[in-house]
Amino acid sequence: MTTIDETAPVIVRLSTVIDAPLERVWALHTGIGDWPVWNTDIDQARLDGPLAEGSSFTWRTHGLDITSTVHELVPGARIVWGGPAHGIDGVHVWTFERAGDRVLVRTEESWSGAPVEAAADQLGAALRTSLEDWLTCLKNRSERRS
């Protein structure tokens, strides 16, 4: 099982409960090409080919172009991606767990590399805000009744 880098200077762990079926939440989250439709922080996202371990996708957030590689995929339960971007090595783990009629979504991400070591507090705060926003957007879109 792939995990975050527990020795990284920046680690953020968050969770939320979403009042929607697991299948809907999972489909939204793993529909990478549609991220810009519901996630206000993502300007572009593209997955070439099927979503699978080893596949890569490109996306733009906060003015940064990022290429991420899927390290682990357990449909309906867990997705892990990561890679280097602008000197930062990131590992991002998402888990999805049924909680009755709702879904518990957990996210944890680690950042390491020279830029992070130089500004860990600032980058840690930025990552926390970004992940809070991502969870809020995922929750809001998943809970829409349309």
* Average pLDDT across the chain, whole number: 97
- Specify if 5 maps to a domain: no
- Specify if 113 maps to a domain: yes
Task: Enter the pTM of the model.
Answer: 0.96
- Burial category of 111 from C-beta neighbours within 10 Å (exposed 0-12, middle 13-18, buried 19 and up): buried
> Which ranges constitute the DSSP H helices of the chain?
22-30, 35-38, 114-118, 120-143
Q: Which domain holds residue 88?
A: 12-143
Total domains present in the chain: 1
- Specify if 1 maps to a domain: no
- Specify if 6 maps to a domain: no
Contact 128, 12 (CB under 8 A): yes
- Specify if 94 maps to a domain: yes
pLDDT of residue 146: 55
- Specify if 7 maps to a domain: no
pLDDT of residue 145: 74
Q: What is the CATH number of the domain that holds 94?
A: 3.30.530.20
Question: Which stretches of 23-112 are assigned E, i.e. beta strand?
Answer: 42-47, 56-61, 64-74, 78-85, 88-99, 102-112
Q: Which residues of the chain have pLDDT under 50?
A: none
